Chain A
Amino acid sequence: MDWPRANSPLEHSTSSCHRFTPQDCDEEADGVQSKERRAYVKVNMDEVIVGRKICILDHGGYSSLALQLEDMFGKQSASRLRLFQAGSEFCLFYKDREENWKTVGDVPWKEFVESVKRLRIGRKSKSLLSYSPTFS
Chain B
Amino acid sequence: MDGAPYLRKVDLKLYKTYQELSDALGKMFSSFTIGNCGSHGLKDFLNESKLVDLLNGTDYVPTYEDKDGDWMLVGDVPWDMFAESCKRLRIMKGKEATGLAPRAMEKCKNRNYK
Which residues of A line the B interface, CB within 8 A?
1-7, 10-11, 17-18, 20, 22, 36-37, 40, 42, 44, 47-54, 71-76, 134-136
Contacts and interface: CB of A to CB of B under 8 A. Distances in A.
Given A2-B19, A5-B19, A48-B100, A53 B76 contact: yes
Interface in B54-71: 61, 63, 68, 70-71
Interface stretch (B3-11, B27-35, B102-110): B102-110
Nearest to B109: A49
Given A6-B18, A49-B99, A53-B72, A11 B45 contact: no
Given A49-B99, A72-B48, A5 B17 contact: yes
A3 B46 contact: yes
A51 B70 CA distance: 8
- Interface of B, secondary structure class, is mixed
B44 interface: yes
Contacts of B68: 136
Contacts of B79: 6
A72 B78 contact: no
Contacts of A47: 99-102
Contacts of A51: 70-73
B43 interface: yes
Contact of A6 (B43, B76, B101): B76
B100 A1 contact: no
B51 interface: yes
Contact of A49 (B17, B18, B40, B104): B104
Q: Find the residue from B18, B45, B77 having the highest chain A CB count within 10 A.
A: B77
B1 interface: no
A75 B19 contact: no
Contacts of A71: 48-49
